Structure 1
Amino acid sequence: MQVTETSSEGLKRKLKVVVGADELGARFSAHLDKIKDQVQLKGFRKGKVPLAHIRKVFGRSVMNDVLQETIRETSSKAISDRKERPAMMPDIALADGASEIESVVAGTADLAYEMSFEVLPEVVLADFAGLKLERLVAEVEDAQLEEALADLAERNKVFASQAGREASEGDRVTIDFEGSIGGVPFERGAGENLQLVIGNSGFIPGFEDGIKGAKAGEARDVTATFPEAYPVAELAGKEAVFAVKIKDVEVPAKAEINEEFAKSLGMEGGLDELKGLVRAQLQRELDQASRMKLKRELLDALETAHDFELPPSLVAREFEAIWRQVMEGLAREGKTFADEGKTEEEARAEYQKIAERRVRLGLVVGEIGDKNKIEVTQDEMRRALMEHARRFPGQEKNVYEYFEKTPGAVQELRAPIFEDKVIDFVLEAAKPSERKVSRQELLDSLERVADA
């Protein structure tokens, strides 16, 4: 194999690779030797077909396989020998002339092809100790805790029956019902002892309005229409009549935050245990907000501290992915760039910069990980997969199968774990200063970061 560099401009490379006809012939013969014992043709026992006959029948097909394998192996070796890291898979261009290609397939000419690719730039890492970073530290305030407990009490209202009460907004009713369309009951259209809070939109439009004013013991017919986008096609857009029996009407009362309330939520330690759990959850949220702000600050610092040429192909691929999401979002919302107060050209320039930032930071984060041997362990991947699967109750098996069969999806799980480990490594070296702030100051700073 002979490799000649025909062009080198910035990160772009072009190589000409020539594989001699004699080497192709040796590869071709080796391939025939591999398959001869498996070949079965009419008139011959398996493995007993003469090699000359195999060459005559399968020669062209075998040579095509040999050429593909040769190009794959030699192009990889050419890059490896040069100790270069391609940004993406190289483009391979064979000779244009049909007669030349035919001669190569026939084994009478050398295989020559040109490969074009971009190499990853050299990333010289900055001194992380010189990064000026500040970690904002906020603690849960008593007022925040009281607000969270009040919200918890609001979401866990207690209901009490009230004789003669006409069902109204916010009341909880217990009902039996049977639905029909055109007088014919439909599947899964009936229920008993269903508890429904009026105003929570737990039923199809019109149903809750239809039982307002009803009292316990009353029966009435309620007419309601299934939405056009209802997931059951047979019911979508259809008007249904529900025969409803009101069994109970209960009025809501805000739960008192006391020992009894805490124990009703499973807190054996009573109110102190509940307050401790709520405070810990609130603190986790504040710590998360602090990390998000610090992480953005760190990524900004890393981008500023590293300046190198970016592979155009990587930037183009990143831009296309971003642009596709933007266009899909606009289409989904029925908007245009004019609604956003900008032209398409301005939007493209804005997202081009975002694409460049992502590529630059991706290369920097990858280099930090490689240089410092930061890896994602199997246990970390397993935990991430389990956590992801828990988001889809009842579909866990399908989630696991998807990740087993989709290699790219596994990378989606690995990437954020790897990035967080790199961030932790850099923060350890940078030793950010700390400043105590109020909860509101922390949230305001996070908002400013999001708007930047």
Structure 2
Amino acid sequence: MQVTETLNEGLKRGYAITVTADELDAKVNEKLAEAQPEVEMKGFRKGKVPMALLKKQFGQRLMGEAMQESIDGAMTKHFEDSGDRPALQPEVKMTNEDWKEGDDVHVEMSYEKLPEIPDVDLSSISIEKLVVKAGDAEVDEALANLADNAKDFEAREEGAAAEDGDQVVIDFVGKIDGEAFDGGSAEDYPLVLGSNSFIPGFEEQLVGAKAGEDKDVTVSFPEEYQAEHLAGKEAVFSCTVKEVKAPKAAEVDDELAKKYGAEDLDALKGQIRERLEAEYSGAARAVMKRELLDKLDDIVSFDLPPSLVDAEAKQIAHQLWHEENPEVQGHEHGEIEPTDEHKTLAERRVRLGLLLADLGQKAEVEVSDAEMTQAVMNQARQYPGQERQFFEFVQQNQQMQQQLRAPIFEDKVVDHVFEQATLTEKEVSKDDLQKAVEALEEE
């Protein structure tokens, strides 16, 4: 077998591979010899069929396998010897398409190799770590929200008109063109005015209603309403207001704490403080990660495989196009040409992706089975009732497994870099942290 370099330009590589007819023949004979002990043929005992007869019977069929295995073996040996890692699947094509048995096989292989990643002195990187303490004001605000969520409703005085935020208990019957429709009726329904839980315009028309009052509410179903037979149609709901209730926030006391599973109010405050500081820490980490990636992007430079950059640029352009055109659900649209801005962003993503992968490999960072299982479980929650099917889908889909594994791996590598870098803590306010997070979203 002969492998000859035909292209060496930047990261692009090309090779001509020749598999001789003798090598193919030897490969076929090897396969026949492996199979011979198990072959049965009329007139011969098991395992005693002559090789010449086996070759006549099965040689042609095994030739294709031998050819593929020889080429695959040549490629594997080449990558082992050269140390090259292809950025994408190499392109392989047979150049003598008029090949016939007894001829050598000529193949061309081309690919872009992954670049050599320069070493980075991680200890030289300085990162600012924003620290936010959950003060009494933030804890009290969270407690007030919990009390509001746990609010009850008390009957207003007789004759009081319903206000926005009140709860009205109603019976209603909905009709279109004078005919009642399925799902358009209920009794003793508790509706909070301003909750936007009913068709737009419905709740507003009940503001000012009083207990014991009958009121017709006229609304139009949205054009995109999920029930097609109702979409866009005008309906009249005959409502009877049975009660009008005003909201009353729960008292901030030990009883409220127990409703939320805490032993007492002090314990609930402690839990809230921990949760808030965990949220602040997560937001601060996102800011730190962006600062780290920006610094790595500035200090590390190496050649990038054009194929990876082009593929990433197209993906970015495609994703942004769909964000700007949300009404287009499928991919039945023309080709979206990446802009220079897309290509610049693609170069950054590819460079950082290759760098983080290299750092993770050198640090022997791995994603454990437990971490993968947790990631699958988190994703499966988005498909209630179909969790088992989702688990099976992931088990059978290598691409989906990689999509779930990649962000876990990246975060573990980033944590590894943080451990090596110099971190300087800076205590800031919640508002300052919020501004830093908003700045990330604007970039």
| TM-score of Structure 1 vs Structure 2, range by shorter chain | 0.7 to 0.9
Question: Is residue 2–residue 18 contact of structure 2 (8 Å, CA) maintained in 1?
Answer: yes
Match of residue 224 from structure 1: 219
Q: CA separation of 1:239/1:451 partners in 2, compared to 1, >3 Å: closer, same or farther?
A: closer
- Secondary structure at the residue paired with 2:154? strand
How far has the Cα of 1:197 moved from its partner? Answer: 0.8
| Change in CA separation of 1:148 and 1:88 when aligned onto 2, cut-off 3 Å | same
Structure 2 partner of 1:102: 98
- Between the aligned partners of 2:59 and 2:88, the Cα distance in structure 1 is 33
Matches of 2:383 and 2:391 in 1, distance apart? 11
Describe the SS at the equivalent of 1:267.
coil
* 1:131–1:430 Cα contact (<8 Å) kept: yes
Question: What is the CA-CA distance between 1:296 and the residue it aligns to?
Answer: 1.3
**Gap runs ≥5 in structure 1:** 41-46, 335-343
- In 2, Cα distance between the equivalents of 1:405 and 1:6? 39
Amino acid at match of 2:120: A
Q: Deviation per CA, 1:12-70: give whole Å up to 9, x if none.
A: 10011111122223444566788999999xxxxxx999999998898766544554444
1:113 aligns with 2:107: yes
* Displacement after TM superposition at 1:219 (Å): 4.2
Give the C-alpha shift of residue 451 in structure 1.
4.0
**TM-score calculated relative to the size of structure 2:** 0.85
Aligned to 1:247: 242
CA contact (8 A) 2:87 2:308 kept: yes
**Aligned match for 2:367, one of 359, 376, 386:** 376
Query: Structure 1's 75 and 186: CA in aligned 2 closer, same or farther, altered over 3 A?
Result: farther
Partner of 2:253: 258
Partner of 1:24: 24
**CA drift at 1:183:** 4.9
Are residue 407 (structure 1) and residue 398 (structure 2) matched? yes
For residues 383-412 of structure 1, the C-alpha deviation after alignment (integer angstroms, 9 at most, x for no partner) is 122122234443423432332232211112
Alignment correspondent of 1:6 = 6
Q: Distance in 2 between matches of 1:411 and 1:328?
A: 23
Matches within 5 A, 1:30-429: 63-64=63-64, 66-95=66-95, 100-103=96-99, 106-162=100-156, 163-269=158-264, 271-332=265-326, 348-429=339-420
Alpha-carbon deviations, 1:187-220, whole Å to 9, x = none? Answer: 4433343221111110122332443443334444
Q: Over residues 106-162 of structure 1, what are the superposed CA-to-partner deviations in whole Å (9 max), with x where a residue is unaligned?
A: 322111111111111111221111112221222112222222223333333331112
Contact 2:86 2:111 in 1 (8 A): yes
Question: Would the alpha carbon gap of residues 5 and 361 (structure 1) be closer, same or farther in structure 2, given more than 3 Å must change?
Answer: same
Residues 408-444 of structure 1: CA deviation (Å, up to 9, x unaligned): 1111211111111111111111131222222223333
Q: C-alpha displacement at 1:324, in angstroms?
A: 0.8
AA partner of residue 360 (structure 1): R
Partner Cα separation in structure 1 for residue 390 and residue 161 of structure 2? 47
Rounded Cα–Cα distance in structure 1 between residues aligned with 2:190 and 2:94: 71
Please say which of residues 384-393 and 51-60 is displaced more in the overlay: 51-60
Contact 2:124–2:422 (CA<8 Å) still a contact in 1?
no
Q: Which TM-score applies when normalising by structure 1?
A: 0.84
| Aligned-partner Cα distance in 2 for 1:24–1:194 | 80
**Structure 2, unaligned stretches of length 5 or more?**
41-46, 329-335
Matched-pair contact (CA < 8 Å) for 1:173–1:197? yes
In structure 2, distance between residues paired with 1:49 and 1:365: 57
Contact 1:125 1:364 in 2 (8 A): no
Number of residue pairs matched?
431
- 1:185 shift after superposition: 4.4
- CA drift of 1:382 comes to 0.8
Deviation at 1:447, TM superposition (A): 3.5
| Residue deviations 1:258-281 (CA, integer Å, cap 9, x gap) | 334333444332x21222222111
SS at match of 1:102: coil
Offset from partner CA, 1:341-399 (integer Å, 9 cap, x none):
xxx99x82222221111111111111111112110000111112212223444342343
SS state at 2:326 partner: helix
SS at match of 1:432: strand
**Contact 1:24/1:107 (CA < 8 Å) preserved in 2?**
no
Deviations 1:83-110 (A, max 9, x none): 2111111111321xxxx4232xx32211
Pair 56,233 (structure 1): closer, same or farther in 2 beyond 3 Å: farther
More divergent stretch after superposition (156-165 vs 389-398) = 389-398
- Counterpart of 2:380 in structure 1: which amino acid? A
Structure 2 CA distance for partners of 1:365 and 1:246, relative to 1, 3 Å: same
Give 1:447's aligned residue: 438
Tell me the CA shift for residue 224 of structure 1: 2.9
| Cα displacement string for residues 294-349 of structure 1 (whole angstroms, at most 9, x for unaligned residues) | 11111122222321111111111111111111222222389xxxxxxxxx99x822
The whole-number CA distance in structure 2 between the counterparts of 1:69 and 1:188 is 65
Letter in 1 for 2:199: I
Identity of aligned residues (%): 44
